[in-house]
Structure 1
Amino acid sequence: MPVSLQEIKKLVRRGEGQQIEFKRKVAHPEKIVREIVAFANADGGYLLVGISDEGGIPGLKYAEEHDYLLKKAIDELCRPALSYKSEIVPIDDNLGVLYYFIKPSKRRPHYALADTTQAYGKAYIRVGDKSIQASDEMRQILKQSRRTKNIKFTYGENEKKLMEHFKFNKTITLSEFVSIAKIPGIVASRTLVRLCLANVLTIQPLEKGDLFTLKESF
């Protein structure tokens, strides 16, 4: 069934957030690709083009051209390729809204290239109404969670220091763990990633540095 204008209005009323992003037009398609990659790396989401930041629906003239430019950018700038559903939803005879639905990907992490000359791109993840660059730890968790199950870990000195920290604090950062345990950053990073994969910790991606939290069951 085609997406209706009423369905678009319903999504717009929800406002921008973890799974919804508005764009007025496709002025910089390479930047919009970051949003699509972020959705694929997180919980999936809806990208609506032809919507103002305030939630108005002015639509797009020549919506087919905007759709072509965005699809071309997705094909050229996403690594690995990702799948999505797209439609042009008409407002009237002259205007339309682009509707893109992106599922959470089983091939994550996906990367967005800045242009076609780049060999490597950057991974993004959706956090609230923003798409932020994923940290090394977040990328490893996304990558390894595709193929690892029932992760076990050794409860050594580093883990003991970490658990002591959680007796008096709700969260910890990578740099705090390095300082507390007096270990190299790469060792701290691997430890935190392993504990997230083992469902001992959860990671909250943030622009200024991820926060790690002990799960309630522990």
Structure 2
Amino acid sequence: MLPTDEYYILRLIDEGEHVHQDFKFEISDARKIAKSISAFSNTEGGRLLVGVKDNGKIAGVRSEEEIYMIEAAAKMYCTPEVNISNKIFKVQGKDILEVTIEESKNKPVYAIDMNNKAWAYVRIKDENILADTVFLNRWKYNKQDEKVIVTYSDREKHLLSILEKYGELTLNKCSKLSNIPRITTSRLLADFIRFGLVEQIFREHTFFFKLKEDTTP
């Protein structure tokens, strides 16, 4: 019978990579791992299994420096800082590091790149995806405690009717077809998503927007 720790990690590996889990063969760049931390903390939280190859094979953590780089990524290259927890498990004679990342209560969490630019990411299925302006607007509105009064003017009706007519559309297409400035369209779509009128879909590395089935303009 397998030791408890080994059974636990092997069971996680059997799940594969998904919205709450990512495998990392090694940690060689704190800024790169900050992207993963940003994505998990901006979504529903999750874990990194360090020392595991993409195919699930056990490789083991090579150096304690990998732990320091993960901590640096969370504290120095994520803004705001992200609280993470680390635990080492012995599996097949090798050390596997489990990094647990909680969902942030203060979204968005940005990752700082090599040019000191800040980018927010989200976790979709098994990928870390750069958040678009609609996501940024959604997070901005979620921080507002005051009650929101929904205006349903001709502009809002027009944009909803465009979505009804054409089905799934990108942000740029929504703006072009509705003749509403892109920045305004982004804010309106964030409002629509917030109030359950529209859903955001990620497909073919692109964000699309569509009316929810029970929505009529």
36-45 vs 143-152, greater mean Cα deviation: 143-152
**Is the contact between residue 41 and residue 142 of structure 1 (CA under 8 Å) also seen in structure 2?**
no
1:132 aligns with 2:129: yes
What is the CA-CA distance between 1:82 and the residue it aligns to? Answer: 1.4
RMSD: 2.2
The residue that corresponds to 2:72 in the other structure is: 72
Q: Distance in 2 between matches of 1:49 and 1:154?
A: 48
1:146 is matched by which residue type in structure 2?
A: K
1:22 is matched by which residue type in structure 2?
A: F
What is the CA-CA distance between 1:206 and the residue it aligns to? Answer: 5.8
SS of 1:12's partner is helix
The residue that corresponds to 1:143 in the other structure is: 140
**Is the contact between residue 34 and residue 124 of structure 1 (CA under 8 Å) also seen in structure 2?**
yes
2:50 is matched by which residue type in structure 1?
A: V
Give the TM-score of the pair, scaled to structure 1. 0.87
Alignment of 1:150-189 (within 5 A): 151-189=148-186
**1:68-107 Cα shifts (integer Å, max 9, x gaps):** 22212221101001122211112366x3111011121111
SS of 2:76's partner is helix
Q: Distance in 2 between matches of 1:171 and 1:8?
A: 40
Q: Distance in 1 between matches of 2:203 and 2:102?
A: 22
1:108 is matched by which residue type in structure 2?
A: K
**Is the contact between residue 30 and residue 77 of structure 2 (CA under 8 Å) also seen in structure 1?**
no
**1:140-169 Cα shifts (integer Å, max 9, x gaps):** 212321334764322222222233234344
Change (3 A) 1:214 1:60: same
**Is the contact between residue 134 and residue 205 of structure 1 (CA under 8 Å) also seen in structure 2?**
no
1:82 aligns with 2:79: no
**Is the contact between residue 178 and residue 184 of structure 1 (CA under 8 Å) also seen in structure 2?**
yes
Q: Distance in 1 between matches of 2:55 and 2:5?
A: 21
204-213 vs 74-83, greater mean Cα deviation: 204-213
What is the CA-CA distance between 1:136 and the residue it aligns to? Answer: 1.5
1:181 is matched by which residue type in structure 2?
A: S
1:197 aligns with 2:194: yes
Q: Distance in 2 between matches of 1:206 and 1:26?
A: 28
Q: Distance in 2 between matches of 1:148 and 1:213?
A: 27
The residue that corresponds to 2:29 in the other structure is: 28
Q: Distance in 2 between matches of 1:154 and 1:37?
A: 33
Q: Distance in 2 between matches of 1:17 and 1:125?
A: 13
The count of residues paired between Structure 1 and Structure 2 equals 212
After TM superposition, the runs of 4+ consecutive aligned structure 1 residues lying more than 6 A away are: none
The residue that corresponds to 1:60 in the other structure is: 61
Task: Name stretches of at least 5 consecutive residues in structure 1 with no aligned partner.
Answer: none
The residue that corresponds to 1:42 in the other structure is: 43
The residue that corresponds to 2:8 in the other structure is: 7
1:202 is matched by which residue type in structure 2?
A: E
1:104 is matched by which residue type in structure 2?
A: E
1:13 is matched by which residue type in structure 2?
A: D
**Is the contact between residue 6 and residue 92 of structure 2 (CA under 8 Å) also seen in structure 1?**
no
Q: Distance in 1 between matches of 2:59 and 2:183?
A: 49
Percent identical pairs in the alignment equals 29
